Amino acid sequence: MTPRRRTALITGGIGGFGLALARLLLGRDFTVALADLDVEQGQKVAEELDVLFIPLDVGDLAANHRAVALVESHYNALDAVFLNAGIVGRQDPTAPLDMKAYEAILDANLHGVTYGIDAAKPALRRAGGGRIVVTASLAGLVPMPGDPLYSMTKSAALAYSRAIAPHLAEQGITLSIVCPGFADTPLIGPMRSAFEDAGFPILTADDVAAALLLAHDEAEAGSAYVVQPGSPPMPYRFRNVPAARDPSGASVAVPTGLSAHSPAGEPGQPS
């Protein structure tokens, strides 16, 4: 019996990384569904690639569930989900908080991940296990003063992904994270020429798509890859935090029940 084609859902699927990834996956004999907020462009791209397009605001939990149900009904199964939609902060960091912009970035960059995982989980389990790859950012690992809300949401998405990954792994779902540096997509907007003027190298969308595919193929649960120009994607090694110490000064591990999902070297484990 020939094995069935695997199906992947990509959110932010018609943006720079999403589209480059879709092309890679199609070349690998995946069936692809693209989900995005931009319906007009989405339908155009989907027609070109002959794939399913799903209008989706990732900040809407019910819509995430509907998108997954649509992929399952269309392709019979869902094997891989790339939670990749995202936006930059749309406000001056020194100005009073603009609640509309604040909620928009939380929706796209954080809820897009928490809601996306919630929606994908049952379908991936039904497919016998599967993969989730989250597009975070280097800005989630190092502060980005130019866009604090972007840093915050990417950091939160990264933390949530790492913490939920062991639970997903128990259900046969491997979740990993990719943290790209600056890349040449519409997201960086006018920053592009500043990088060019400064001679600062930036990634291509294809570089990042290759890293997303690598994470899909090879990553361990909860691992994060850093992608920077001039180097292959690198697994990021998170540093230990100082351990708790008892009155004698000996380091003490977090009780097993409370740290059951903390792999060695994670916070709570003596270093």
Ligand X SMILES: NC(=O)c1ccc[n+]([C@@H]2O[C@H](COP(=O)([O-])OP(=O)(O)OC[C@H]3O[C@@H](n4cnc5c(N)ncnc54)[C@H](O)[C@@H]3O)[C@@H](O)[C@H]2O)c1
Residue from 54, 78, 85, 124 touching ligand X (CB under 6 A): that is 85
Q: How far is CA 202 from the centre of its chain?
A: 19
**Both structure tokens of 188:** 């960086």
Signed CA dihedral, 160, 149, 187, 202: sign only: negative
Q: Which is nearer to ligand X, 180 or 222 (CB)?
A: 180
The region of 2-10, 141-149, 177-185, 210-218 touching ligand X under the rule CB under 6 A is 177-185
Question: Comparing C-alpha atoms, which of 82, 49, 32, 36 is closest to residue 214?
Answer: 82
**Does 34 participate in binding ligand X (rule CB under 6 A)?**
no
| Tokens representing residue 55 in the block | 């209008």
Q: Indicate whether 115 belongs to the interface with ligand X (CB under 6 A).
A: no
Burial class (CB in 10 A: 0-12, 13-18, 19+), 270: middle
Give the orientation angle of helix 16-27 with respect to helix 39-49, to 10 degrees: 20
From candidates 149, 187, 209, 213, binder to ligand X by CB under 6 A: 187
Tell me if 140 contacts ligand X by CB under 6 A: no
DSSP symbols for 167-229: HHHTTTEEEEEEEE-SBSSGGGTTHHHHHHHHT---B-HHHHHHHHHHHHHHPPTT-EEEE-T
* Interface pick for ligand X out of 58, 80, 117, 120 (rule CB under 6 A): 58
Q: How far is the CB of 214 from ligand X (least distance, A)?
A: 15
Least distance CB 134 / ligand X (angstroms): 9
CB of 123 to ligand X, least distance (A): 18
Decide: is 9 part of the binding site for ligand X (CB under 6 A): no
- The reply on whether position 147 binds ligand X by CB under 6 A is no
| Residue 20 DSSP SS3 | helix
Decide: is 186 part of the binding site for ligand X (CB under 6 A). Answer: yes
Q: Which residues are near ligand X by CB under 6 A?
A: 11-12, 14-18, 36-38, 56-59, 84-87, 107-108, 135, 137, 180, 182-183, 185-188
